[in-house]
Structure 1
Amino acid sequence: MQLSLVYENGFPPGYFILRSVACDRVLDVEKDSYEDDAPVCLYPSTESSLVESFRVPTSNNQVFFIDTAGALCSRSSGHAIDVDDGRLVLRHRRPVSQPYPNKYSHSLPSFHYDASTGHVTVTYASDPAYPDGTNPSGAWRERTYYLTSIPERKPRSVLDDAAEALERTLRSPLSLFSGLQAATTVPEAAFDLREDEIEEQERAEEAEIDDAVDKVRKVRVVGTTVEEDRRLGARARERRVWEVLPLRTVARKTV
């Protein structure tokens, strides 16, 4: 039964690593924490081998598995992964508290992997924004929730700001005298979205550049509709693509 459940979720049985194709980093429980609400991020792989006997235990915070209830779990701590306001966090199992579900006590989300697209989607049992059920609209059911990496730009310098200001001036000489600023268009549905979801839809090509020196990258669960998906650029789509790397017990595959 356990293997069947795992295959239904698209993940392989046993332990595996989740690698972001866009930034070539793997899912990682920060600082190998065991604490409730510990953040999960993306970080360069700390172990090159996929063979169990060759790996060091200190890299287990980058290894995951699907448990018998269908939850994504960290191998290092054994605790499940929850989604809190779009962020992945470590979650201890909690007793039911009324009114159920609520932000403290709720069903853990299910993670699904589609090998044909490389997408990892998240399924909720209740509204992720209002886990106590106080939002009557039910609009969250119309969204597909994707696991996506977030690009990180290096800090801007004074020279960067000066060059950008000069470029804007050359493109629009009259802007120095008009004092008018272009209005920013916000989709009607944006008022129902979190800030990072709006950013996902409105992110300009420049903001897709991922050149920060820091090794850590953020990972988020972002909900979009079919119409919003059509507006996404190529780089935003690539950030949704993941590779699942199963761990092996032997060095070579046997026939």
Structure 2
Amino acid sequence: MTADLETFGFPPGYFIVRSVASNRLFDVSMDGIEDGTEVVLWPEKDTSIVETRRSPDANNQYLFYFQVFFIDTSGALCSRSSGHAIDIEGDRLVLRHRRPISLPFPNAYAHPLPKFSYAAETGEITVHFVSDPSHPPPSAVPSDAWRKKTYTLVSIPLRKPRTLIDDAHAFISSAITSPLSFFSGAPAPQATPEAVFNSDIDLGEEEVLEEERGDEAEVDDSPEWGRHVRVLGILDKFNEEKGIVEKARNRRRWQITPLRQTNARTV
């Protein structure tokens, strides 16, 4: 008799998770095994998908970043190196030890681990919760608003730092397009989401609503190696997707590549 195990769209065994938008892999940062160690996106360290040909470093034994994952027998997404599951903390993906139940359950410390599912036809990875992921205190008024959302993983683009030349160019461009507003006292035009995104306002890139992002907001030209992956809670996914550009759509797409035990047989 065999058990009926569910991998939720992921392949059985070990695999890597690649962002279509950034061409980077899921990676556990800083060789961490502690609770809260973040899962980030990092360039690929080993291009072989055959176990016997991969460097031990790429399987997270010696380097600072982990790039191999699997679905365990409970259905949790796990890091190969530590064996720890992936949990959601705020909107970040983090490592999580299995924890004992503490009352009142569930709470921020102890709660059911989320399940991740992969849809090959769309390339999307969805997160499924069995309790409110915000973990409100027992005194809070119960709300089912979280149940109405679709939780999707997205990669976050990173712009290179602005320079004085960039700021001067933006100022001159604004003066040319609306010269009278600087001298007549007329009210300035309302800022567009793209303008807010590129201004000096202290607004994180992951805080910009997906439907408000334009092509300019999707530029990913930073020389930094790493990128962030976040959980996006969408209230009306069908209608929300109508308003996003193709680059934003690609940030929700992932490629799952299983690792093989041996070379493929050739004829």
Q: What secondary structure sits across from 2:95 in the alignment?
A: strand
Matches within 5 A, 1:40-119: 40-60=39-59, 61-119=66-124
> What residue in structure 2 maps to residue 217 of structure 1?
227
Matches within 5 A, 1:172-191: 172-177=178-183, 178=185, 180-183=187-190
> What residue in structure 1 maps to residue 15 of structure 2?
16
Q: What secondary structure sits across from 1:167 in the alignment?
A: helix
> What residue in structure 1 maps to residue 5 of structure 2?
4
Q: What is the rounded CA distance, in whole Å, between the counterparts of 1:98 and 1:122 in structure 2?
A: 24
Q: What is the rounded CA distance, in whole Å, between the counterparts of 1:2 and 1:184 in structure 2?
A: 57
Unaligned runs of 5+ in 1: 187-193
- Percent same amino acid among aligned pairs? 51
Give the TM-score normalised by the residue count of structure 2: 0.86
Distance 1:48 1:131, change over 3 A: farther
Render the CA deviation track for 1:131-183: whole Å, top value 9, x for unaligned: 55635231111111111100000000000011011111111112212352344
Q: What is the rounded CA distance, in whole Å, between the counterparts of 1:97 and 1:81 in structure 2?
A: 20
Aligned residues of 1:50 and 1:246 also touching (Cα < 8 A): yes
Match of 2:156 among 132, 141, 150: 150
Match of 1:200 among 200, 210, 230: 210
> What residue in structure 2 maps to residue 252 of structure 1?
264
> CA-atom RMSD, angstroms?
2.2
Q: What secondary structure sits across from 1:252 in the alignment?
A: coil
> What residue in structure 1 maps to residue 62 of structure 2?
none
Aligned residues of 1:34 and 1:77 also touching (Cα < 8 A): yes
* Deviation at residue 74 of structure 1 after TM alignment: 0.1
Distance 1:130 1:232, change over 3 A: farther
Render the CA deviation track for 1:36-87: whole Å, top value 9, x for unaligned: 1101100001111000011122212100000111110000000000011110
> What residue in structure 2 maps to residue 29 of structure 1?
28
Q: What is the rounded CA distance, in whole Å, between the counterparts of 1:180 and 1:130 in structure 2?
A: 43
* Deviation at residue 253 of structure 1 after TM alignment: 4.6
Aligned residue identity for 2:261 = T
Q: What secondary structure sits across from 1:62 in the alignment?
A: coil
**Where in structure 1 do 4 or more consecutive aligned residues deviate above 6 Å?**
none
Comparing both structures, which one devotes a greater share of its residues to helix?
A: 1
